Amino acid sequence: YVRIFNKVYEAILNKKEILLKKSAEITYMMTKTLIAGGNIHDIILKLYKILNKSVFFLNNKLEIVEKIENSEESNINISDYKNVIFEHDSKLIMKINQNECYDDIKVKEINFGEDKVFKYVIIELRKNINNYLAIIEPNMISESEKLLDSTALCNVATAIKLQKLKELAIIETKEKLKYDFFDDLINEAYTSLDIMEKRAATLGLNFMFWNIIFIFDIDNFEQYYKENFHKGEHYFQEIKMKIKDNIIEQLERYRDNIGFFIP
């Protein structure tokens, strides 16, 4: 019995060791990709090569941003499963391997008939769903391979989250600099036009041609800013970005019905 038990215990430890090594390898590869200036596509490609499974990177509306598919799975239509994915309390979705993931990243799965599983993680930025990362996993694979898939999804999702946060910080900084620039320009709070031209060039603004600036003012936003100042600058930049995206979306939607009157 002791010999049998030792053999079983040894096999379990070997599987754990292999999983840990593979997990460390995945983390190293993703970190190396990010340091080398890799983008989301590079990260997705790495995941595809590691797992040899179809990989999908979706936005918060479950629209495909990036995908790399195996030829036998090219007929899968993600939109057919939108309702199931959006209904987080659905019985078809169950959390798995949570102990192998992180507190804010959980692996979930949906059965694609009898032979395939849609395994995915939700990538959240500042408590908002930003993206979904998913793979198509065959049903008939070993538990250790399933565990490896889940671990890989968690590690890659973390890498993508770090990349997204870096991109978001850059965008927010640019938006803040542009806001300060136009605020100084409108209020004539500058000492030299030459300095303003240099600031404009740095921000990628071309003042060699006419520019029309639209100002959308929000009632009582200054008071709201004072009351929520403790939440930090990024909180307000996020609000401004959402308002901007909403305005652009509405202008695009109703562009044929918009008229401008300049007194």
- Would you state the pLDDT for residue 44? 85
Check pLDDT > 50 for residue 91: no
pLDDT digits (tens, 9 = 90+) for 171-203: 888 888 888 888 898 888 988 888 888 888 888
User: Could you tell me which residue, 229 or 21, shows the higher pLDDT?
Assistant: 229
Kindly report, residue by residue over 24-52, the tens digit of the pLDDT.
677 677 777 777 777 788 888 888 888 88
Which residues lie closer than 8 Å to 191 by C-beta, 6 or more apart?
A: none
Q: Which domains does the chain have, with CATH numbers?
A: 2-166 (3.30.450.30), 170-257 (no CATH)
Report residue 24 as tokens: 């460390």
Question: How deeply is 101 buried, as exposed, middle or buried, from its count of CB atoms within 10 A (0-12, 13-18, 19+)?
Answer: buried
End-to-end CA separation in angstroms for the chain: 94
pLDDT score of 209 more than 80: no
pLDDT, residue 74, reads 56
Closest CA to 137 of 126, 121, 157: 121
Query: Would you place residue 245 in the very low, low, confident or very high pLDDT band (cuts 50, 70, 90)?
Result: confident
Q: Give the pLDDT confidence score for residue 92 in this predicted structure.
A: 44
